């Protein structure tokens, strides 16, 4: 059953169109991440789902009910805001009770819900405090608690972790995942952080400039990006893009890179309309090669960035900088000339003109 | 023993001396200005406790040689104004009966207007706000004629409730401006969260907005209270005799029927008339400054 169906939703602010026909369907219990750079329209889409903004055209339906003209409070949703939006003059307890009071939930039921959620999120100790007396992580928990007490059909998160420091963010990310595993509520989660999207979601919707680029499982998005935008956005360090001329004969593909290197491999590729291609290679699919290895790039190391667990090495190949990941003890030195073997099974090929995946 | 005294530093000594000199000048000037402001006040306070003959003998500005509450008693309950000899007490209560309701009503409506204009914007709400702002800059006397007509039509001439209405509406521009500018800084996410939580317009107002409002409500209350209490023009035009607020009565008193000036009673009457706003500012002044300068709430 689909809990949320978004059909051809468009949104314009004046003459600026920020959403250009979005289609998404979210199955019951799914955790969907809306991800994209700032200004891509993801927060607007969430506000439209919540009913805080009206779509210019298209429909939103929650549990098979079209909700375009339904007030936010009647959409059976709960939302966690980036700023947490805790009511500053109320205690944690009052914050969590507010929604139930507004809906006229009987007092006994309210107490039960409060107890259940505060136990689940381990905020029993904080119930008497005001938001100003809480740390960032505690506020985050309370904000989730306020959403959870209502037991809604749909959970909406608007960049909930972006106000936390790096360590706490990772911690809370884990907690959100555990929480979702425990309660299995359908969730739409907006983030600009591709790591959050990868780790949390069952499917990711990548948006750019108001257009849905790809909507698929995280690993599929990572391995088979639909276009160069998705390929470049997902993954850190970002995918390397190298211009190449492609020739296909039978099942054999030959890619002639700038600077003379050639990649030859077998893959079922349709005959392209043009030979101009962009090859996408993830940093972890480049390994150190000896002189006999075919399918290698040759470059001079211009930058070495150790991160502790791995070392990112940037080399100049032809006219392009290519990033590769190494174990720290195997990292080449600055200025060294390296041969980088390419895992040709896992490279992506994009049409240089349309930037869409060609194979 | 180690020598702990630093070597003589000519530069540091000069700058210290300069600093001392400039501070002396600044504090000297401040004291002088404070005196200029406070001296008339002291003269009035002294005269309110002096015997009238003694004032006549030693002059208005001199240190008191006598001490009596007679002038205060007279000003409060027996002095004759406009032919009635009941002192200022009636007018004092008139002023309170006018100022307190007008202050409360105009502050609450200002809060409501500010809430709507900042958190429930609609097509044309900015234009409406601009229109409301005209009221801030419009002198009260422009409205005299229309008010006279309206009060007459409503049968509220020479009536304290008429003045309450006039002051509520005249003050609405200010209270709206104050509250709207304060509420603009309350994050919109709070309102959105409350809307999703199921709260409506009124519940958000009294459960979320009003509890956040004390800093600005103190400002509007002080502003309105002192403004309405001290207001004179509407009081003197729309009321007469026993229905007058205290400011209008003070003028009648100093205008007196005789040529003899009862400086002692006049001083006491002025102080009675000035006391409530002084007390309000005395107890609320620090919140007033804080509220006016407060930018965002976190």
Q: Is B34 exposed, middle or buried (0-12, 13-18, 19+ CB in 10 A)?
A: exposed
| B192/chain A closest Cα distance in angstroms | 7
pLDDT of B106 reads 96
Q: Which CATH class is domain A240-351?
A: mainly beta
Q: Which residues, other chains included, contact A88 with Cβ-Cβ below 8 Å and sequence gap of 6+? A: A130, A131, A132, B190, B212, B297, B298
Tokens of B276: 């409530």
pLDDT of B56 reads 82
**Tens-digit pLDDT profile for residues B219-265:** 999 999 999 999 989 998 998 888 889 998 888 887 655 556 788 88
CATH number of A2-233: 3.40.50.300
Cβ contact, residue pair A102, B196, below 8 Å: no
Largest Cα–Cα separation, chain A: 76
Strand partners, A323: A314
B297 shares contact with chain A (CB less than 8 Å):
yes
**Tens-digit pLDDT profile for residues A87-113:** 999 999 999 999 999 999 999 999 999
pLDDT of B2 reads 58
Q: Quote the ipTM score.
A: 0.85
CB A275: neighbour CB atoms within 10 A?
Answer: 13
Tokens of A55: 């779509």
Q: Where are the domains of chain A?
A: 2-233, 240-351
Cβ contact, residue pair A88, B189, below 8 Å: no
Q: Which of A56, A138, A58, A156 is nearest to A95 (CA)?
A: A138
Terminal C-alpha separation, chain B: 55
| B132/chain A closest Cα distance in angstroms | 27
Cβ contact, residue pair A85, B187, below 8 Å: yes
Token look-up 């009941």 returns B86
pLDDT along chain B (298 residues), means of 10: 69 89 94 93 90 84 84 88 82 94 96 96 93 88 91 91 94 94 92 93 95 91 93 90 88 68 87 91 80 52
Partner-chain residue, chosen from A88, A99, A146, that has the shortest CB–CB distance to B212: A88
Strand partners, A242: A279
- List, for chain A, all residue ranges whose pLDDT scores fall below the cut of 50: none
Tally: H helices and E strands in chain B: 14, 0
| A174/chain B closest Cα distance in angstroms | 24
pLDDT of B298 reads 39
Length of chain B: 298
DSSP for residue A284: G
At B58, give phi and psi (nearest 5°).
-95, -5
CB B31: neighbour CB atoms within 10 A?
Answer: 10
Q: What share of chain A is helix, strand, coil (3-state, %, to 5)?
A: 30, 35, 35
- Cα nearest neighbour of A100 on chain B: B197
Sheet of A296-306, strand order: A286-288, A337-342, A296-306, A311-317, A320-326
Rounded Cα–Cα distance for residues A89 and B194 (Å):
13
A54 shares contact with chain B (CB less than 8 Å):
no
**Tens-digit pLDDT profile for residues B172-196:** 999 999 999 999 999 999 999 999 9
**Could you tell me if A145 and A156 are in contact, meaning their C-beta atoms sit under 8 angstroms apart?**
no
């Amino acid at each position: 059953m689909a809990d949320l169906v978004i059909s051809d939703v468009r949104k314009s602010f004046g003459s600026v169109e920020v959403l250009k026909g979005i289609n998404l369907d979210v199955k019951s219990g799914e955790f969907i991440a809306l991800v994209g750079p700032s200004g891509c329209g993801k927060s607007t889409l969430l506000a439209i789902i919540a009913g805080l903004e009206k779509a210019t055209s298209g429909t939103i339906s929650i549990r098979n009910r079209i909700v375009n003209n339904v007030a936010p409070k009647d959409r059976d949703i709960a939302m966690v805001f980036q700023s947490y939006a805790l009511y500053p003059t109320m205690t944690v307890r009052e914050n969590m009770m507010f929604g139930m009071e507004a809906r006229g939930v009987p007092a006994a039921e309210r107490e039960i819900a409060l107890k259940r959620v505060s136990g689940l999120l381990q905020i029993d100790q904080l119930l008497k405090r005001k938001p100003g007396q809480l740390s960032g992580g505690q506020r985050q928990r309370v904000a989730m608690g306020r959403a959870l007490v209502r037991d809604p059909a749909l959970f909406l998160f608007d960049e909930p972790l972006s106000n936390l420091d790096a360590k706490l963010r990772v911690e809370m990310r884990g907690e959100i995942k555990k929480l979702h595993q425990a309660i299995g509520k359908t969730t739409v989660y907006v983030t600009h952080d591709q790591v959050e999207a990868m780790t949390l979601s069952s499917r990711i919707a990548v948006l750019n400039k108001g257009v849905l680029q790809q909507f698929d499982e995280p690993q599929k998005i990572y391995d088979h990006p639909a276009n160069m935008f998705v390929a470049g956005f997902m993954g850190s360090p970002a995918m390397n893009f190298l211009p190449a001329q492609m020739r296909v004969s039978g099942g054999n593909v030959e890619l002639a890179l700038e600077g003379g290197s050639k990649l030859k491999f077998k893959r079922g590729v349709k005959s392209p309309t043009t030979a101009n291609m962009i090859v996408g290679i993830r940093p972890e699919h480049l390994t150190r090669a000896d002189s006999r290895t075919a399918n290698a790039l040759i470059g001079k190391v211009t930058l070495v960035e150790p991160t502790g667990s791995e070392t990112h090495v940037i080399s100049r190949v032809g006219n392009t900088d290519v990033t590769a990941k190494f174990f720290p003890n195997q990292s080449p030195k600055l200025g060294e000339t390296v041969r980088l073997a390419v895992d040709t099974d896992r490279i992506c090929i994009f049409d240089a003109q349309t930037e869409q995946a060609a194979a | 023993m180690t020598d702990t005294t630093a070597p003589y530093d000519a530069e540091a000594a000069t700058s210290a001396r300069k600093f001392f000199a400039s501070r002396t000048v600044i504090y000297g000037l401040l004291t002088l200005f404070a005196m200029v402001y406070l001296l008339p006040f002291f003269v009035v306070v002294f005269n309110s406790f002096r015997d009238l003959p003694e004032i006549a003998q030693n002059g208005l500005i001199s240190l008191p040689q006598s001490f009596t509450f007679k002038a205060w008693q007279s000003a409060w309950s027996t002095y004759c104004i406009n032919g009635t000899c009941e002192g200022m007490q009636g007018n004092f209560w008139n002023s309170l009966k006018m100022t307190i309701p007008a202050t409360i009503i105009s502050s609450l409506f200002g809060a409501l207007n500010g809430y709507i204009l900042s958190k429930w914007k609609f097509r044309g709400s900015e234009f409406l706000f601009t229109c409301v702002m005209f009221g801030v800059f419009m002198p009260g006397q422009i409205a005299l004629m229309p008010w006279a007509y309206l009060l007459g039509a409503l049968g509220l001439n020479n009536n304290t409730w008429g003045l309450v209405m006039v002051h509520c509406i005249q003050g609405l521009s200010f209270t709206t401006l104050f509250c709207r500018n304060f509420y603009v800084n309350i994050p919109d996410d709070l309102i959105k969260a409350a809307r999703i939580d199921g709260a409506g317009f009124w519940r958000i107002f009294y459960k979320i907005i009003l509890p956040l409002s004390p800093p600005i409500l103190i400002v509007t209350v002080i502003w309105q209270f002192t403004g309405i209490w001290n207001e004179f023009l509407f009081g003197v035009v729309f009321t007469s005799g026993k229905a007058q607020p205290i400011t209008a009565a003070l003028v009648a008193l100093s205008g007196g029927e005789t040529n003899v000036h009862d400086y002692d009673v006049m001083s006491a009457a002025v102080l009675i008339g000035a006391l409530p706003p002084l007390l309000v500012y005395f107890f609320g002044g620090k919140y007033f400054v804080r509220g006016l300068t407060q930018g965002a709430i976190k």
